[in-house]
Amino acid sequence: MLNLIVSKTILLIEKDVRASTSFSLLDSYGLIWLVRYNSTLEQNQTVQVFSMNTHQLMITLDREGEEPIYKQLIRNIKAQIESGVLPAGTRLPASRDLAKQLNISRISVVNAYAELRAEGFVSAHAGRGTFVSRESNQPENPAPITTVTENSSPDTSIRDLMRLSRKPGVISFSSGSPPTDFFPINSLREAMNYVLDRDGSDALKYEVPEGYGPLRAEVRDYVSALGIQCSSSNVLITGGTQQALDLVVQALVAEGETIVSENPTYIGMIDIARTRRINLHGLCTDHEGIRLDHLENYLIDNNPKLIYVMPTFQNPTGHVMPLHRRRQLINLANTYNVPILEDAVYHEIRFEGEHIPPLKALDDTGIVIHASGFTKMLLPGIRVGYIITDGQHYNRLVRVKQAADISTSGLHQRIIHYMLARGVLSGQLERNNRELMRRRDAAIAAAKQHFPPGTHLSIPDGGLVIWAELPHVGPTAAELYISAIQQGVAYAIGSVFYTNGGGAYRMRLNFGAHPPEVIDEGFRRLGRAWRELAVDYADMDKSPLL
């Protein structure tokens, strides 16, 4: 028997409701409801119908399935928009009302509406509500679901939600930055005074777009220790690694063209793709990085302009690509003549295991463009990064750099040059890595003690973050977030790192952000938040819809 719930009146229908069925119902208030649905409904499945401006929204939820609740909402609403049941202009229920009626978390509704907005199915109007904006005969975005385009971005509502991590008293593991207690303030003060005494006002002039000559030479010498052989004429100084990535994208990829990346991937590259109106196609990864069989299958049938990877302590997973796969990746890129953009910003932050040379050190054809910087290792606020590439791309990158900001701060370049030349970076890295290993170990111990059974953790040999997966028997990372904030702890919600909105139960935790005693307290709060919400989550699974 099918339980069909109308408002708060339960009607019992003595038959199954099959595909494309249309039927009328009379509720206890004498209102006639016309219900149409395009999928088969099985016996004992719960359905809810809402009346909205003479149109009906019918939601079916499978609370025993693995598909997240917000994804089920998206699927239900999309199907009814595409079938014409919900025409353009139909007002959807307020997120609070829909959550209450369905007895689900409000964040599930907020997330569903936000993704529908991003895909153009609905639009939100302040003070008025959320309305269907797509006619049933409008085509969907033809891009694959694993592709970020200018119209599909990580859920902006989730990003807005994560701003709550800035609330006073919240222990935040959400950022990707090193802790402020790592910053070499005394060395910075010494370097700044020395540079201003030596160069005076010259330190404040525009530099040439390529960068301060002595710093370019120092970077050349620095990367030679990593195995990268280049001349200073191959080095372009940038305003941090983020700008380095953006410049390469602008120089090599036109609007509407495609970059291939790992999935999940660095959220900054997702932002670049959206801003520059290019497609970012994410491919499956394993614990060794991007799957090369998937990459080759994609390259056979498509023509991406760039392959973007972070082979060492990938953000957010912390994975490291082994040497043999690095060589295979370079061979594949040469075979299909697609440049590789190597993001090496975490390469030197290794406190355990064997160092593996960067891709650029293995490149003998110029197919690899190497981007890195000193923000994670030294001073995030001193925005100095660099690109290493051969002549075929270098001149174009210089022109794009000049158009972007003329040049990177001359004072900042001179400060970094002084600190590199005096060995400040090498000493700082050694101290940082020693402390990061201590904090990593504390985080793993605290997670094992406080997180729910069935939580899966990455255990990185370097970098700043742990990639965690919550048990699928409880709330998703997005559903948990508000409860976590109420307990005084925050993290990065995993789905924002995916090009296809996956990773519902994933979270990224910056273990480097706090000393061990704060990590333990933060993880204790997070475990408590999960347990308290999981009790309600289990109750909702077992109880009737209304």
Statement: residue 85 has pLDDT above 90: no
Q: Which residues pair with 129 in a beta bridge?
A: 125
Q: Which of 3-7, 235-239, 255-259, 264-268 is least confident?
A: 3-7
Statement: residue 535 has pLDDT above 70: yes
pLDDT of the residue at 126: 60
In contact, 414 and 212? CB cutoff 8 Å: yes
In contact, 499 and 265? CB cutoff 8 Å: yes
Pairing mode of beta strands 2-6, 279-283: unpaired
Q: Which of 129-143, 444-458, 459-473 is least confident?
A: 129-143
pLDDT of the residue at 60: 75
Statement: residue 188 has pLDDT above 50: yes
CATH 3.90.1150.10 maps onto the chain at 162-180+427-542
pLDDT of the residue at 538: 56
pLDDT of the residue at 358: 98
Question: Could you tell me the strand order of the sheet in which 55-60 lies?
Answer: 9-13, 2-6, 47-52, 55-60
Average pLDDT over every residue of 259-285: 95
What is the topology classification, in CATH, of domain 2-140?
Arc Repressor Mutant, subunit A (1.10.10)
Architecture of domain 183-424: 3-Layer(aba) Sandwich (3.40)
Angle between helices 424-450 and 410-421 (to 10 degrees): 90
Architecture of domain 162-180+427-542: Alpha-Beta Complex (3.90)
pLDDT tens-digit series, residues 195-210: 999 999 999 999 999 9
| Residue 66 CA: distances (Å) to CA of 63, 80, 101, 338, 475 | 8, 22, 22, 37, 11
Query: How many helices, marked H, and strands, marked E, lie in the chain?
Result: 15, 24
pTM: 0.73
d(Cα 500, Cα 74) in Å, to the nearest integer? Answer: 14
pLDDT tens-digit series, residues 320-348: 999 999 999 999 999 999 999 999 999 99
Average pLDDT over every residue of 79-95: 81
**Token representation of residue 223:** 């990367």
d(Cα 185, Cα 147) in Å, to the nearest integer? Answer: 42
For tokens 């049933």, name the residue: 136
pLDDT tens-digit series, residues 3-61: 333 332 233 333 333 333 333 333 332 333 333 333 444 433 444 545 444 455 778 78
What one-character DSSP code corresponds to residue 41?
B
- Higher local confidence (pLDDT), 78 or 414: 414
d(Cα 88, Cα 512) in Å, to the nearest integer? Answer: 48
Q: What percent of the chain has pLDDT over 70?
A: 81
Statement: residue 546 has pLDDT above 80: no
Q: 512: which residues sit within 8 A by CB, 6+ positions away?
A: 178, 179, 436, 439, 440, 464, 465
pLDDT tens-digit series, residues 161-186: 677 878 889 999 998 888 888 888 99
Statement: residue 212 has pLDDT above 50: yes
Give the dihedral sign, CA 261/262/267/270. Answer: positive
Q: What DSSP assignment string belongs to 305-351?
A: SEEEE--SS-TTT-----HHHHHHHHHHHHHHT--EEEE-TTTT-B-
Average pLDDT over every residue of 120-147: 63
CATH 1.10.10.10 maps onto the chain at 2-140
Statement: residue 259 has pLDDT above 90: yes
pLDDT of the residue at 543: 33
In 62-197 the beta strands, taken as DSSP E runs, fall at: 122-125, 129-132, 147-148, 171-172
CATH 3.40.640.10 maps onto the chain at 183-424
pLDDT tens-digit series, residues 275-324: 999 999 999 999 999 999 999 999 999 999 999 999 999 999 999 999 99
Statement: residue 253 has pLDDT above 50: yes
pLDDT of the residue at 144: 38
pLDDT of the residue at 17: 37
